[in-house]
Structure 1
Amino acid sequence: MAGAAPDQAKEKRRHAAANLATGWQRLIGPAIAVNMALFVYVMFEPILVTRIAFLSRNEIILSKVAYDLYGTDRVLFLVVFLFGIVAPGIKLLAFAFVWYFLDVHQTKRHNKWLVVLGKLAMTEIMLLAMVVVAIKGTGIGSVDIKPGLYFYVVLVLGSLLLSLLVDQQLAALPHSDSRSESGN
């Protein structure tokens, strides 16, 4: 009986989405890893440089913005931290976990929550767009876009594309009986 639990875990991993993927779908796992690396990169890479009329030049780095906001505006810090750092980070980690370790029928149930996390993580693009428009639109300064912003956009769009591809693959899988879907 002691060997039953490890055997069940191996059986579930054998039915993980990553193991059932064929053709181009086998690239989803490595794409998740690339998105994780991009996430770490854009956290510490300048995405914008702002110049406000003769006053200062400031590099916008996501981790530094969150740190600075903690000391000045705790509510805005929470918004940026939760939706710009925590939600995307949790989504990427959860995405890798369900792709590689959960039985596909469990993955189908958990994928709904990953889509919600992805939508929450998309709000940071809107926040960045508002900052750029506010600074450029008022005429009080300028904003130079750095390569980190492009990597950031690739990260968000790549994450969205991965979500759509996984949804498509999960929808194509045959439906199981209710006993398998309940996790028994």
Structure 2
Amino acid sequence: MRAKVLPLLMVLVFMTVSLSGCMGLIQARESLEGMRGEPVDKPYADKIGMAHTFQTESVLDIFEEYSNSTSFTIDESVQRIEIYFKVTISGSDNIACIEQAPARYVRPTVTTASGAVLWSEDVCEDVSPTTYDFAKEDFDSLGSFNLEVQARGFGETTAGIFQDDFIIIINVYHECRQYPQEPPCDE
């Protein structure tokens, strides 16, 4: 009987020693997870900007149209979009805007990935700083959104008194799950 117990005891000791490593790793991982802390949902923003100051060096420059576009990506982590818009057209408070054929104007448009217009303006006079907010529900699709601007303006370079300009800043607010000991989401 004693001869049969010894091999059984050896197998039991061997199994206990070999399995304790795996079991020990599981226990160590669980204790590290407990020490790590809870994840936090953190907001961060990506900025897309477009600004232009007109500089007219000849009379013919007044008839040239400024055109520019840029794109930005909207994914499922985006919570909202904020658009800051400001236009300065020198003398627009004294000279009326001719709606049918404006000589100076700013026409920005933001289109979604599906081609739908999210935001658009057509101005030919000063616009004080204005902010437009769009929630996640306002997007009809995810993907590449486009900001396009067509503008025409005047800017004398001698004294710098009369200069038309515009500023558009798009803040795309994301939310991500931030775990302790990991780099921040916006890096």
- Quick check: TM above 0.5? no
Report the TM-score, using the length of structure 2 for normalisation: 0.29
Which structure has the larger Rg over C-alpha atoms?
A: 2
- Please identify which structure carries the higher strand content: 2
